[in-house]
Structure 1
Amino acid sequence: MNNHLKHLTLGLAMLGVSAGVSASDADDFPSKPLQLLVAAGAGGGTDNFARVVRPMLEEALGGARSTVINLPAASGALAHQRTANGAADGHTLDFASTTFVTSLAAGQNPVGLDQVTPLARMQSDVMALFVNPERFEDFDAFMAYAEEHPGEINVGGTHTASPDHVAFLALRDASGIDMNFIPYDSTGNATANVLGGNIDATTTSLSPLLSYIDAGQMAPILVFSDERLEDYPDVPTTVENGWDLTDGNDRAIFVHASTPDAIVEKLETALKEVYDSEEYQSYAERVNLTYREGWMSSDEYRQRLENNFELYSRLLQDD
């Protein structure tokens, strides 16, 4: 068993209540301002998510106060470390994306699910394979070209071990398409290289490319979903091709793994109240995060993370 798998499988054994914190503290929670650590830089999707949730969460917790702190260093690992090394009292919340588990699988994140535990997942942006529609009309055309030119297809995305990268690896693994991944420092650069003809496609989530889709410059030709999306009824899914690939770019909130269950439940309930609110749902619709259900409870998301960790570890090791 490798060290990272131990991080996941040893979690339940280490979920004792830390010194000085008891379940009864949930009655008075929160007893001080919350720290909302964002495992990403200012202005990005995870940062915007945290800042939108912040005032609604404060209200759901009875007028709590909170501060947002951006900790983008080392793919957000600093935020995870500060959460794991702090007090297990629920006052430090770690807002993170799928990069949490992809970087863990790649050995870049030293913090596993024995040290932090998810409160909930609130977003799951659908991944897709995008092309310049002037180059490929649809996925069938892409597949035909790939079969005629094995090893010559180049697909771009953000850096190694990113959600873009593992989506590419999962698609290559399931489909058998002989293609290569080209890492870029941003979605914008990957997109520009598709438009410039330097690469053939990109794997990324839908929301960042909506303006390009509306302008007719980029087109999704395959979505990582079990059902076709209402806005793209002609675009096939991975599942209908026989590939069980539906993971997106998730956004979730974590706390110290030894946080008392009563406090975890109180925070999870508050976040569900936020998620169900008209204000939050209006935001999600505005930023195109309603293609599928975003909510996943603490226990459900922990199981999803553990399954994804095993898959991503294998894919990255084989790459």
Structure 2
Amino acid sequence: MLTKKTLKAATLGMALVGVVMGVNADEAADYPSKPIQFLVAAGAGGGTDNFARVVRPMFEEAVGGARITVVNLPSASGALAHQRTANGAPDGHTLDFASTTLVTSLAAGQNPIGLDQLTPIARMQSDVMALFVNPERYPDFESFLEYARDNPGKVTVGGTHTASPDHVAFLSLRDASGLEMNFIPYDSTGNATANVLGGNIDATTTSLSPLLSYIEAGQMAPILIFSEERLDHYPDVPTTVEHGWDLTDGNDRAIFVHADTPSPIVQRLENAFKEVYDSEEYQSYAERVNLTYREGWMGSEEYRQRLENNYTLYSRLLQNGN
């Protein structure tokens, strides 16, 4: 099992006997003691980048003021951001903002930084995945399902690059449903969407929020949602669980630090981000960009367990190819 290095430390605000990794309770309470870097494991303008930049001023307030620099490191599926975090000082001043791509790229062997080298602070978003089509071609999931069953191997589903959350969502659906379908990777959600609209592919698997404008315009439609229950905004769209498929993973967005970051600082950071998450300002933002379909918050330990479970699942799926 993937494990992290553990440190015995009292909770924030309590006195420590001695020093843990060179940081005692008083020093943890003084956090931050120097400028902070938000390393975004994605390019500018995407969901993870927007998340980091929206959170920045709220986090500054939550920790009592700090100079924060946002640095985008999209290369190698964000692996450079993970490397810099894992190789930096374990003092909580370098924060890695990452999506589910962290664990999918790790499962694919594309990311050299394992879950034992990073400690999750919290997950704050879980964007719901869905299967999207041009509604003029497939009015509902039943018509798509019928065509796929009658034409094994002919259905093509697109999404962003290999080992992305889009790709893993496709693999999960193919694995659970038994449908013979093929995946075509694209360099962006926009290109995958354009190929659906142009009739070059049958569908795309991606999260809901990037395609809202297409949905509103009637150009694209979600026909299957990766969820336990139907969403209020899409009451007529069936879910994976309704079909007996335990597929509910979304595209998570979370914050990580060096694995050796002392427990008092990890707790300090988790508390600060929970304060941000609970704020009216953050919740208004989340609702505005449709990130309230499911609970986004997971604390450090709960999210670590989820990552480990997903790593096992994604490794199996990716071993079977695309």
TM-score bucket (shorter structure): over 0.9
The equivalent position to 1:192 in structure 2, one of 191, 194, 199, is: 194
Aligned residue in 2 for 1:83? 85
More displaced 10-residue stretch of structure 1: 16-25 or 289-298? 16-25
Aligned residue in 2 for 1:167? 169
Aligned residue in 2 for 1:35? 37
Distance in 2 of aligned mates of 1:169 and 1:23: 46
Is residue 15–residue 258 contact of structure 1 (8 Å, CA) maintained in 2? no
The answer to whether the aligner puts 1:69 opposite 2:71 as a matched pair is yes
1:18 Cα offset (Å): 7.9
Aligned residue in 2 for 1:206? 208
Local SS of the residue matching 2:158: strand
1:241 Cα offset (Å): 0.8
Distance in 1 of aligned mates of 2:185 and 2:137: 21
**TM-score of the pair, normalised by structure 2:** 0.94
Aligned residue in 1 for 2:4? 11
More displaced 10-residue stretch of structure 1: 23-32 or 113-122? 23-32
Distance in 2 of aligned mates of 1:94 and 1:192: 31
The equivalent position to 2:247 in structure 1, one of 231, 245, 248, is: 245
Which structure dedicates a bigger proportion of its chain to helix?
Answer: 1
Aligned residue in 1 for 2:12? none
Task: Return the letter of the residue paired with 1:9.
Answer: L
Is residue 14–residue 114 contact of structure 1 (8 Å, CA) maintained in 2? no
Distance in 2 of aligned mates of 1:15 and 1:306: 22
Aligned residue in 2 for 1:216? 218
Aligned residue in 2 for 1:138? 140
1:258-285 deviations in Å (ceiling 9; x for gaps): 1111110010000000000010011111
Is residue 122–residue 298 contact of structure 2 (8 Å, CA) maintained in 1? yes
Aligned residue in 1 for 2:231? 229
1:9-56 deviations in Å (ceiling 9; x for gaps): 242469999854445421211111111111111111111110110110
Percent sequence identity is 80
Is residue 15–residue 257 contact of structure 1 (8 Å, CA) maintained in 2? no
The alignment covers a number of residue pairs equal to 312
**TM-score of the pair, normalised by structure 1:** 0.95
Q: 1:14 to 1:62 in 2, by over 3 A?
A: closer
In structure 1, runs of 5+ residues without a counterpart are 1-7
In structure 2, runs of 5+ residues without a counterpart are 10-18
Distance in 1 of aligned mates of 2:21 and 2:280: 39
Runs ≥4 residues deviating over 4 A:
13-19
1:122-168 deviations in Å (ceiling 9; x for gaps): 00100000011011111111110011100100000000000000000
Local SS of the residue matching 2:122: strand
